[in-house]
């Protein structure tokens, strides 16, 4: 392939090099723009980035109430709680789903590893609560299962979804408040 330009002959190699330079510059500029946008990683918590109700089981006022409780914990002690509610797991196990969501929906301070994620799948009737290892001296896996079994699940069985989540969140908050000096400690 050759291109004639005002009496000057460009070779395919020269065209390819120019194209590569242009593409490289485009990618570089795109990367800079993306990194500037991505810089907002540590934005203030908002209702949208702490409570994701894709199943639509919570009213706006219930979300506001849950968010106020979550925000109070974050402001007072630092640990963050995220809640993700979906209609269906679409073939995933609740464990796979919560691990995938945890990697996408990063909750908790990086240095303290103190995030808590509550995942709910309505049609599958599954609830899972996970805590970062920075809370492992405060909230064990057994404690998480107990909160799920005694606080959250019974309310869900009655159709009182908000009440179950609210009681569960406040139980977690009470444990953290009582043991705040152990936040960010793990073996």
Torsion of CA 63, 67, 70, 74, to 10 degrees: 160
Extents of the domains making up the chain: 3-41, 44-182
Q: Does the domain at residues 44-182 carry the CATH identifier 3.10.180.10?
A: no
| Cα 106 from chain centre | 4
More confident residue, 76 or 14: 76
Q: How confident is the model at residue 33, as a pLDDT?
A: 52
What is the average per-residue pLDDT within 51-69?
95
Structure token digits, residue 35: 């990194």
Predicted TM-score (pTM) of the model is 0.74
Using DSSP's 3-state secondary structure scheme, residue 56 falls into coil
The single residue listed with the structure tokens 């460009």 is: 10
pLDDT exceeds cutoff 90 at 102: no
pLDDT digit string, tens, across residues 3-48: 444 444 444 545 566 666 666 555 655 554 544 443 333 334 455 6
The percentage of residues in the chain with a pLDDT greater than 90, rounded to a whole number, is 60
pLDDT exceeds cutoff 90 at 103: no
Long-range contacts of 124-127 (CB under 8 A, 24+ apart): 124/88, 124/89, 124/94, 125/156, 126/89, 126/94, 127/94, 127/152, 127/153, 127/156
97 pLDDT tier (thresholds 50, 70, 90): very high
86 pLDDT tier (thresholds 50, 70, 90): very high
pLDDT digit string, tens, across residues 121-154: 999 999 999 999 999 999 999 999 999 999 999 9
Q: How confident is the model at residue 10, as a pLDDT?
A: 42
């Amino acid at each position: 392939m050759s291109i004639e330009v005002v009496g000057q002959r460009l070779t395919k190699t020269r065209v390819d090099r120019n194209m590569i330079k242009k593409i490289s510059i485009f990618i570089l500029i795109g990367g800079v723009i993306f990194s500037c946008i991505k810089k907002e990683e540590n934005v203030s918590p908002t209702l949208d980035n702490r409570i994701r109700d894709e199943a639509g089981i919570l009213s706006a006022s219930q979300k506001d109430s849950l968010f106020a409780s979550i925000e109070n914990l974050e402001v007072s002690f630092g640990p963050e709680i995220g809640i993700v509610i979906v209609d269906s797991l679409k073939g995933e196990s609740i464990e796979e789903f919560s691990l995938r969501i945890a990697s996408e929906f990063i909750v908790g301070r990086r240095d303290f590893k103190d995030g808590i994620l509550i995942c709910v799948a309505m049609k599958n009737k599954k609830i899972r609560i996970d805590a970062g290892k920075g809370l492992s001296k405060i909230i064990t896996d057994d404690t998480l299962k107990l909160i799920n079994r005694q606080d959250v699940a019974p309310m869900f069985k009655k159709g009182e979804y908000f009440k179950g989540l609210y009681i569960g969140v406040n139980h977690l908050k009470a444990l953290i408040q009582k043991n705040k000096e152990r936040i960010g400690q793990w073996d």
